[in-house]
Amino acid sequence: MEASDADLLQRYAREGSEAAFRELVQRHVNLVYGVAWRHLRSHAPAGDVAQSVFTDLARSAPSLPPGQPLVAWLHVVARRTAIDHVRTEQRRLARETAAAELAAVSTAPDWNALEPLLDEALDALDETDRHALLLRFFENRSLREVGAALGTSDDAAQKRVSRALEELRAGFARRGIALSATGLATQLPAAMVAAPAGLASSITGSALSAATLGSTTATTVASKTLAAASLVLAVGLVWEVRSLASGRRHLADLHQQTVELGPRLEAARAERDRAAVGLQAARQQADASRARNAERTATETALEAWLARVDQLKALIEAAPAVGIPEMRLLASGDWLIVTRDNPLQTEMQRRRALADLRRLAKAKPEIDRNFAQALRALARANEGKWPTGPIDLRPFLQPPLEDAILARYEFTVSDQGLVFSGAKAGARVFQEKAAVDADFDTLTVYWESGNTSNRPFSTPGDLGSSLQKAYADFRAAHPNDQPTGPEQLLPYLPTTVDPAVFRDFWEARRIPLAQ
Amino acid sequence: MKPAPRLLAATFLALLGGTLFQAWLLAGQNRDRASAAAQLAAGQQQLHAWQQERDRAETERAALEKEIAAAAAETATTRAAANDAGLTDWLQRVERLKDWLQQNPERRIPEMQFLNSNDWLSATFDNRLETEAQIRLALRKLRTLAKAKPEISANFNQALHAYMRAHDGEPITALAQLRAYLQPSLGDDILSRYAVVPETPGVNDRNGVNRDGMRFLGAGRIVFEERVLPDADYDTRLIFMEQGNGSVSVSRIEMAVGQATTAFIKANPGIAVSRPEQLLPYLPPAIEEQALREYWEVKDWK
């Protein structure tokens, strides 16, 4: 059984079957060519239109709706394409003018002149009628085939064809052309134009090529885009690969530099640490040096000041010889230093204290103190206990001998006080200084008959030393558990004859320690 | 699609995938490079910083060494300028004693922080510092001077009396009780050198008591005293009694020589002691002959 147009079209659309498409062209090329011929009256343009129509068919095949009568579609498309062609070439107007003039002068119209209007009249029919006429007269189908195509019986097809002819005739009549339905039935097959031999074959190839060309063009565009993109990608890829390689080298270089930097860092750190240790040591040395220098400077300054005080004291004695005693000739340089070490010699009391210290140190010299003690014992043994009359009696027993100026300062007398520790009592015979140079500060050295030596304040009633002793004793009596820590505490116990300001100076001067 | 376009598409996809993958790798590599570069830069910066630190330290060190050399030269110049050789020697003895103490810190007591220049001069002015005994004597003098400073002796004494006044005449039982009364306050290094002496009837509860070969003078019993003496033979011990001021004992060797002298004179009437050998038979066992001979050399020094 022969395949229907729909089947063929579907095979082509679905499978791209060239055979199916060729069969379709074979079947309908005359119809299409005929439509084109009627419009163009020229083989070459008609062939072009036919080719264009089938090319359209090839392109549109996949999108044609199922059930679309192909013959009707081809007719419509062929006519539209032909009209477009005519419009393009400005031929249609001339032909329509000629046809109108012909209709006006002839009652028996020339069919050849009416053919260009046939397709327009066919188009005016409804689709079923047009389909029936196209099948019956342009496809030269039997009434049975027409009925099969229309889905009706033979009789119904006959009736449809007849009615369609009548509609066609009426269409011509409305254009002023009088024709009979029978005449039309006779003339319509004549309107059927056979396409030139080989056209179908040519159209098939060209249409398929054109359709494929469209697809190929799209494919080519996409391919070119793809190719271009691929090229770009390839170039990019190459660039990336090169960059990666370069980056890898750079990275390796960086790593290498970092690795090489490690030992340099270690060395730099070690050098920094060594330098820091060296600096620390140098700082410590510098600090020690500065401290040492400061100490040295302080010591030198202190020594200079100390020696200046010694000079000051010596100058004092030189200016006022009465404050000196002849024993002071025995003083060594150390004695002068001892006396002036802590004594600033700034106040009169401080200077008096220093001079008293010098006198005490002088009297304590072995040449005086031990000499007197030994001479007294020797004198006692020689005189068998007889008490001498004057210091001159000691002279033979003094070793070394002492000058008369020294001896003249002493006397043999009777003590007015006892000696607590040895049990000597007041009234005992003693050898001692006659008078103090400064009763407030001087001590009295007493050589007892027993051979003992003692020292006590050389105080006389009313002087500062005695006043201090009395005030101290009174304070302790009033405050058995306390020691006076300042002169102010003793002021209430002083005789009114003592000037508090003088007493304060005296207190401070007595507090000066004597270096040992 | 025909084979060629498919191949093209596949190629495109492969290239795209490859490109993306390479881009991913490149991004990772860039991060690695940035990290490595940063690490390298940090290292170089550190290197530079350390080199700068080294340079600064060396520059400062050179300057300090120059300063030290200049200070030494200045000192030498100062000394050379001193016309009095005796004074120069004296100053040098002070420095020698300081050097000696620095090398023998166990002979130092914290109270020595209160010494002044005069004290150092005092300890050295008649001491040549040539023998061990001379050095010991000088150090004894320094320590005694230090303990006699008002910040120590008078401070302790006043604090003790202040405490007793505030506690119905009762003396302290622990040295820490003095803290609140010390003016100026004293550090633990000093306080730890002293300890309260428990009252022992017949031993330390009266004046003139002999203890550890030393004779203490004062009023009332001994409340606290120096705990340890750096030089047990030569040092005097600072003690504080219930009444009176802080008192300094005689040293053990002085005590021993005094007792031996008394014994010698008693056994040899009319004969003066002129040589250490004379005292040997009378010397307490605690004092060795060598110690006596060394001390004899300096016994009359002040």
For B65-111, give the DSSP string: HHHHHHHHHHHHHHHHH---HHHHHHHHHHHHHHHHHHH-GGG--GG
Residue percentage of chain B with pLDDT more than 70: 86
User: Rounded distance, CA A361 to CA A329, Å?
Assistant: 11
Q: Which residues of B touch A302 (CB under 8 A)?
A: 116-118, 121
Residue A108 has pLDDT above 60, yes or no: no
| B207 touches B219 (CB < 8 A) | yes
pLDDT at position B189: 95
Residue B148 has pLDDT above 50, yes or no: yes
pLDDT at position B54: 93
pLDDT at position B183: 94
User: Rounded distance, CA B111 to CA A211, Å?
Assistant: 120
Token pair, residue A258, equals: 């970092």
Q: Which residues of B touch A290 (CB under 8 A)?
A: 71
Pairing of strands B238-243, A443-448: unpaired
Over residues A128-143, the pLDDT tens digits come to 888 888 888 877 788 8
Beta bridge mates, A425 = none
Averaged pLDDT for residues A310-336? 94
Q: Which residues of A touch B58 (CB under 8 A)?
A: 275, 278-279
* Higher pLDDT pick, A94 / A444: A444
Q: Strand, coil or helix: what is A169?
A: helix
pLDDT at position B106: 93
The answer to whether the Cβ–Cβ distance between B5 and A255 falls below 8 Å is no
Averaged pLDDT for residues A458-471? 80
Beta bridge mates, A429 = A414
pLDDT at position A38: 82
User: Rounded distance, CA A502 to CA A494, Å?
Assistant: 12
User: Rounded distance, CA A24 to CA A18, Å?
Assistant: 10
DSSP A385-410: TPPPSSGGGGGGG-SS---HHHHTTE
pLDDT at position A90: 61
pLDDT at position B244: 64
pLDDT at position B229: 92
Residue percentage of chain B with pLDDT more than 90: 40
pLDDT at position A9: 85
pLDDT at position B169: 86
State which H helix or E strand residue B292 sits in: helix B289-298
3-class SS string, A262-313: HHHHHHHHHHHHHHHHHHHHHHHHHHHHHHHHHHHHHHHHHHHHHHHHHHHH
User: Rounded distance, CA A21 to CA A15, Å?
Assistant: 11
**B215 φ/ψ angles, rounded to the nearest 5 degrees:** -110, 120
User: Rounded distance, CA B257 to CA B291, Å?
Assistant: 11
Residue A245: CA atoms inside 13 Å, Cβ hemisphere, count? Answer: 5
Residues 6+ apart with CB under 8 A from A103: A109, A113, A176, A177
Q: For an interface test with B, give the residue of A224, A271, A339, A361 to mutate (most B CBs within 10 A).
A: A271
10 Å CB burial of residue A145 (0-12, 13-18, 19+) is middle
Q: For an interface test with A, give the residue of B29, B92, B97, B114 to mutate (most A CBs within 10 A).
A: B29
Q: Which residues of A touch B46 (CB under 8 A)?
A: 265, 268
Residue B152 has pLDDT above 80, yes or no: yes
Over residues A20-40, the pLDDT tens digits come to 888 888 888 888 888 888 888
Averaged pLDDT for residues B146-159? 92
The answer to whether the Cβ–Cβ distance between B8 and A227 falls below 8 Å is yes
Q: Which residues of A touch B302 (CB under 8 A)?
A: 334, 338, 516
The residue among B188, B34, B43, B296 whose CA lies nearest residue A267 is B43
pTM: 0.59
Residue A23 burial (CB count, 10 A): 20
User: Rounded distance, CA A334 to CA A336, Å?
Assistant: 5
**Which residues in B41-71 are b (16+ Cβ under 10 Å) and which e?**
eebeeebeebbebbeebbebbeebeebbeeb
The answer to whether the Cβ–Cβ distance between A223 and B8 falls below 8 Å is yes
Token pair, residue B140, equals: 């004894």
Residue B114 has pLDDT above 50, yes or no: yes
pLDDT at position B296: 86
Q: How far is CA B85 from CA A292, A374, B79, B82, in A?
A: 21, 38, 9, 7
Confidence at A231, pLDDT banded by 50, 70, 90: confident
Over residues B210-228, the pLDDT tens digits come to 555 555 555 667 889 999 8
For chain B, what are the domain ranges? Answer: 106-250, 254-298
Q: Nearest residue of B to residue A332 by CA position?
A: B126
pLDDT at position A26: 86
Residue B28 burial (CB count, 10 A): 12
Q: For an interface test with A, give the residue of B2, B6, B7, B8 to mutate (most A CBs within 10 A).
A: B8
Residue A104 has pLDDT above 60, yes or no: no
pLDDT at position B45: 92
At A262, the amino acid letter reads G
Averaged pLDDT for residues A430-447? 89
Residues 6+ apart with CB under 8 A from A209: none
Confidence at A99, pLDDT banded by 50, 70, 90: very low
Least confident segment among A21-35, A45-59, A214-228? A214-228
Residues in chain B, how many?
302
User: Rounded distance, CA A379 to CA A375, Å?
Assistant: 6
Residue A363 has pLDDT above 70, yes or no: yes
- Tell me the shortest Cα–Cα distance from B150 to chain A, in angstroms: 11
* Averaged pLDDT of chain A: 83
Residue A383 has pLDDT above 90, yes or no: no
Residue B221 burial (CB count, 10 A): 21
Q: Which residues of A touch B5 (CB under 8 A)?
A: 219, 222-223, 226
CB pairs A-B closer than 8 Å:
175
Residue B67 has pLDDT above 60, yes or no: yes
Q: Which residue has the tokens 């579907």?
A: A10
Residue A106 has pLDDT above 70, yes or no: no
Averaged pLDDT for residues B262-271? 88
Over residues B229-258, the pLDDT tens digits come to 999 888 988 888 887 666 677 788 888 888
User: Rounded distance, CA A389 to CA A411, Å?
Assistant: 9
Residue A405 has pLDDT above 70, yes or no: yes
Give the Cα-Cα-Cα angle B282, B284, B286 (nearest 5 degrees).
150
Dihedral sign (CA A220, A223, A229, A232): negative
- Tell me the shortest Cα–Cα distance from B101 to chain A, in angstroms: 14
pLDDT at position B202: 62
10 Å CB burial of residue A437 (0-12, 13-18, 19+) is middle
Q: Which residue has the tokens 């020339």?
A: A110
Identify which of A237, A254, A338 has the shortest CB distance to residue B19: A237
Confidence at B62, pLDDT banded by 50, 70, 90: very high
Q: Strand, coil or helix: what is B247?
A: strand
Residues in chain A, how many?
516
Q: Which residues of A touch B71 (CB under 8 A)?
A: 289-290, 293
* Averaged pLDDT of chain B: 85
Averaged pLDDT for residues A342-354? 94
DSSP A17-84: -HHHHHHHHHHHHHHHHHHHHHHH--HHHHHHHHHHHHHHHHHHGGGSPTT--HHHHHHHHHHHHHHH
Which DSSP letter does residue A515 get?
Answer: P
Q: Strand, coil or helix: what is A370?
A: helix
Task: Give the alpha-carbon dihedral of B177, B182, B187, B192, to 10 degrees.
Answer: -40
Over residues A473-509, the pLDDT tens digits come to 899 899 877 778 789 999 999 888 889 999 999 988 9
- Tell me the shortest Cα–Cα distance from B238 to chain A, in angstroms: 16
Over residues A55-83, the pLDDT tens digits come to 888 888 888 887 778 888 888 888 888 88
Residue B114: CA atoms inside 13 Å, Cβ hemisphere, count? Answer: 19
